[in-house]
């Protein structure tokens, strides 16, 4: 892995410069995505369409597309001379990222019930995104990020980590509720009930947005902030689209339920 990195970059300064550029480019991609989502829905799940390529089996798609966000960080941590992995703040932030992707790549895909096949373009874009983001987050944390000695006891880190945990648990619980709406073999849609779904249609998305916002607060970097912004743009759009879809499909859909932010939006 070190050989590959030294072949790609002539110096550490150059690699850090590229990592910073990647974070700014992700912000640009978030802005571009924000505008383009006024004209298209994120094309997978209930909005899947053959316009975006041939269908890929949904479990295979989630497993393969998310795997780089787990494997690449593991390689960077264990197979490179990463100078910052012995430091507690860096270790905790890397652990948050890995914890999410162990579940997302190795567990979540195999629990899906009756999910729609993923169009190839969505699958390919998610795969490339996971390579890009997995490298950007964990290379920065494992080799470059420097935090003050008391960072893990600072209010910013404690609040961010707590938000990360609350968001992750909300995301897991909400995905669990959704999956249990279907009996094995069913593929239709029902009204989700319980947990944060009592307040918002996009409870799983609110959980994931909260999780990465907490990670960004605790990580205090352009890299973690860019990921948090990108996630919020994609998932807020999905929450609003799902909310409108539910209101149109179910006459008895709870009228007090909001799209993404309880009581507000
Ligand atoms: N960080 C990021 O940028 C990012 C991006 C995308 C997704 N994610 C995360 O990945 C996870 C899955 O995302 P998603 O967009 O696929 O979520 P989703 O649209 O809510 O669907 C999740 C699963 O539940 C099923 N489902 C949804 N609503 C249902 C209902 N009312 N009745 C029965 N089944 C229902 C879906 O089946 P169908 O496939 O048949 O619709 C799918 O299998 C979420 O936790 C999300 O936060 C993260």
pLDDT at 1 over 90: no
Position in ligand 1 atom list of the atom nearest CA 205: 47
pLDDT of residue 82: 82
pLDDT in tens, 189-213: 999 999 999 999 999 999 999 999 9
Residues 115-141, mean pLDDT to the nearest whole number: 98
pLDDT at 83 over 90: no
pLDDT at 60 over 90: yes
- The DSSP string of the chain is -HHHHHHH-SSHHHHHHHHHHHHHHHHHHHHHHHHHTTTS--SSGGG--GGG-SEE-HHHHHHHHHTHHHHHHHHHHHSS--TTTTSHHHHHHHHHHHHHHHIIIIIHHHH--SPPPEEHHHHHHHHHHHHHHHHHHHHIIIII----TTGGGSHHHHHHHHHHHHHHHHHHHHHHHHHTTS-TT--------SGGGGTBTTHHHHHHHHHHHHHHHHH-SHHHHHHHHHHHHHHHHHHHHHHHHHHHH-TTS-TT-BSSSTTT-
Tell how far the Cα of 20 is from the centroid of ligand 1, in angstroms: 31
pTM value > 0.95? yes
For residue 81, what pLDDT band results from cuts at 50, 70 and 90? confident
Ligand 1 pocket mutation pick from 29, 41, 43, 45 by most atoms within 8 angstroms of CB: 45
pLDDT at 127 over 90: yes
Residues 163-180, mean pLDDT to the nearest whole number: 98
Tell how far the Cα of 123 is from the centroid of ligand 1, in angstroms: 14
pLDDT at 134 over 90: yes
pLDDT of residue 131: 98
């Amino acid at each position: 892995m070190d050989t590959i990195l030294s072949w790609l970059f002539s110096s550490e300064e150059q690699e850090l410069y590229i990592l910073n550029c990647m974070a700014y480019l992700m912000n640009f991609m978030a802005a571009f995505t924000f505008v383009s989502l006024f004209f298209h829905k994120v094309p997978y799940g209930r909005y899947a369409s053959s316009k975006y390529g041939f269908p890929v089996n949904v479990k295979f798609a989630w497993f393969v597309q998310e795997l780089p966000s787990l494997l690449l960080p593991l390689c960077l941590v264990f197979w490179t001379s990463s100078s910052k992995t012995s430091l507690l703040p860096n270790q905790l932030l890397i652990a948050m990222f890995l914890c999410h992707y162990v579940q997302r790549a190795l567990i979540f895909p195999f629990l899906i019930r009756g999910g729609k096949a993923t169009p190839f373009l969505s699958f390919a874009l998610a795969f490339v995104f996971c390579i890009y983001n997995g490298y950007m987050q964990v290379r920065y944390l494992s080799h470059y990020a420097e935090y003050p000695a008391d960072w893990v006891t600072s209010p910013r880190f404690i609040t961010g980590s707590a938000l990360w945990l609350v968001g992750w648990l909300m995301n897991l619980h909400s995905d669990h509720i959704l999956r249990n709406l279907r009996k094995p073999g069913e593929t239709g849609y029902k009204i989700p009930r319980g947990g944060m779904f009592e307040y918002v249609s996009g409870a799983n998305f609110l959980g994931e947005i909260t999780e990465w916002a907490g990670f960004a607060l605790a990580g205090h970097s352009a890299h973690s902030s860019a990921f948090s912004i990108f996630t919020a743009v994609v998932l807020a759009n999905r929450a609003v689209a799902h909310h409108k879809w539910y209101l149109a499909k179910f006459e008895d859909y709870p009228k007090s339920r909001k799209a993404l932010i309880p009581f507000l939006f």
